[in-house]
Amino acid sequence: MERYFQPEIECASREDMIRLQSKRLAAQVRRVWENVPYYRKKMEEKGVTPDDIHGIEDLAKLPFLSKADLREAYPYGLLGKPLKDCVRIQSTSGTTGKRVVAFYTQHDIDLWEECCARAITAAGGTNEDVCQVSYGYGLFTGGPGLNGGSHKVGCLTVPTSSGNTDRQIMFIMDLQATILCCTPSYAAYLGERMKELGYTPEDIPLKAGIFGAEAWSEEMRRDIEKTLGIKAYDIYGLTELSGPGVAFECSAQQGMHINEDHFIAEIIDPDTGEVLPEGAQGELVFTAIDKEAFPMIRYRTRDICTLTREKCPCGRTHVRMAKPKGRSDDMLIIRGVNVFPSQIETVLINNGYAANYQIIVDRVNNTDTLDVQVEMTPEMFTDNVGEIQARQSALVEGLKSMLGLKAKVTLVAPKSIVRSEGKAVRVIDKRKI
């Protein structure tokens, strides 16, 4: 049995990591200055040159990059290498505005797959595992990233891509898959369907799941773990930085280790841009220090979370990020109150519901309305109006104490909310502001 574990990097001392990051950062900034006129202009506007950047202590001198910059420089304006050296693009599944198109050299692909291989290893994967990759393949990074990682670990890779749920289940059972990679909402759906088909957690050969690409709550994790009889690991990443594997969970399941030899993380105040101290909640910003084709420097992710350097029982020393609460763009402002869909999810699951829900926001007579439509589970399904009303009131109370806001709750029949094979669509905002 072989494990793809790199203790010299993943368990490096803080001093060694700072030295490595500093060296890579200084070289990266110089390369970008020389090759990316768009970012060079930003640096000039801020009055900073590569000579000012000696190490990570100088990071905050550099200008931020945002999604707006990506849009402005689309498609080739942020390339750090000539096209002849680029071998791939991937693109986001975003539905609004211009798509993000990210570029990769072969070096970038190797680096990305290495990150995914670390994630699979941290979830217990070895070359003896059968790893089913049910993230979408194609422009989305989920499938290609974990596919590459699975190869590096030496797993038998089953590239089912997303969709065709009964075929997914057939492969899991027939090939005795031990690791499943997909979005948490799709994992929940697979679990639901397997239960319907009569499989118990003991029948299911899976032992671990690597789930990410969308916000999901601890409660949802426990639910999936129970139905599939597995340990569920979180994985984080974004197209702009390569894809999945920027950070991943280890067996401690207490936050995701950021691959610090490739990415420097900062938390900033999203309003002022000021760097916040360790432990503070804010917007996550990443600098890719050795990516070539798409060298993002101080890229604002809009994801809201916290970082910790507390010692991790797994022995890895890389900084950990908490589960992102969702993107700052996902945050709803309802009657002046900030609401993250993940908070609503927590209340639902704590009250015995599965994560099948939709949040409908509207504005009636100049007042925001919040309607949470929740599916009853088959066990709780009833036509007894009194019982349904009591259930609804309990959820209204639970949401009120979590959000400080009165929501309307509508319980709907099992299976009436559409299931997702990729990222779930949780929010429908009908307000025209």
Instruction: Compute the distance between CA of residue 78 and CA of residue 40 in angstroms, rounded to an integer.
Output: 10
* Residue with Cβ nearer ligand DLL (212 or 255): 212
Exposed / middle / buried, residue 205 (Cβ in 10 Å: 0-12, 13-18, 19+): middle
148 or 237: CB nearest ligand DLL: 237
Residues 389, 342: contact at Cβ < 8 Å? no
Partnered with residue 427 across adjacent β-strands are 359
Q: Please say which residue, 213 or 417, places its beta carbon nearer to ligand DLL.
A: 213
Nearer to ligand DLL (CB atom), residue 141 or residue 306: 141
Indicate whether 243 belongs to the interface with ligand DLL (CB under 6 A): yes
How far apart are CB 382 and ligand DLL at their closest, in Å? 34
Write down the least CB distance from residue 143 to ligand DLL, Å. Answer: 8
Compare residues 105 and 183 and give the one whose CB is closer to ligand DLL. Answer: 183
- Using CB under 6 A, which of 142, 144, 191, 209 touches ligand DLL? 142
Indicate whether 237 belongs to the interface with ligand DLL (CB under 6 A).
Answer: yes
Pairing of strands 282-288, 357-364: unpaired
| Of 244 and 395, CB closest to ligand DLL | 244
Query: What is the footprint of ligand DLL within residues 392-411 (CB under 6 A)?
Result: none
Of 17, 180, 213, 265, which lies in the binding site for ligand DLL, with binding defined by CB under 6 A?
213
Sign for the CA dihedral angle at 168, 169, 175, 181 comes to positive
Q: Does residue 259 belong to the site contacting ligand DLL (CB under 6 A)? A: no
Give the range of 12-20, 104-112, 234-242, 380-388 binding ligand DLL by CB under 6 A.
234-242
- One of 28, 134, 141, 162 touching ligand DLL (CB under 6 A): 141
Contact indicator for 307, 321 with CB cutoff of 8 Å: yes
Burial, 218: exposed, middle or buried (Cβ in 10 Å; 0-12, 13-18, 19+)? middle
Q: Which of 135, 294, 340, 353 binds ligand DLL (CB under 6 A)?
A: 135
Stretch that binds ligand DLL, among 40-48, 135-143, 150-158, 383-391 (CB under 6 A): 135-143
Number of residues that bind ligand DLL (CB under 6 A): 22
d(CA 242, CA 244): 7
Determine if 178 is a binding residue for ligand DLL (CB under 6 A): no
112 phi/psi in degrees, rounded to 5:
-65, -45
Interface residue with ligand DLL, options 144, 209, 212, 255 (CB under 6 A): 212
Nearer to ligand DLL, 33 or 189 (CB): 189
- Residue-wise over 130-165: b if at least 16 C-beta within 10 A, else e? bbbbbbbbeebbbbbbbbbbbebbbbbbbebbbeeb
Contact in structure between 91 and 76 (CB atoms under 8 Å): no
Residues 398, 349: contact at Cβ < 8 Å?
no
Q: According to CB under 6 A, which one of 10, 303, 345, 368 is a site residue for ligand DLL?
A: 303
Give the CB-nearest residue to ligand DLL: 212
- For 184, phi then psi, to 5°, come to -60, -35
Which region among 148-156, 162-170, 210-218, 263-271 touches ligand DLL (by CB under 6 A)?
Answer: 210-218
- For position 144 contacting ligand DLL by CB under 6 A, the verdict is no
Say which amino acid occupies 65: L
How far apart are CB 137 and ligand DLL at their closest, in Å? 11
Residues 6+ apart with CB under 8 A from 110: none
CB of 338 to ligand DLL, least distance (A): 16
Question: What is the rounded (10 degree) CA torsion for 152, 142, 255, 261?
Answer: 50
172 binds ligand DLL (CB under 6 A): no
Closest distance of CB 181 from ligand DLL, Å:
8
Nearest one of 82, 107, 108 to 243, comparing CA atoms? 108
Task: Give contact residues for ligand DLL (rule: CB under 6 A).
Answer: 92-93, 135, 141-142, 212-215, 234-239, 243-244, 301, 303, 323-324, 327
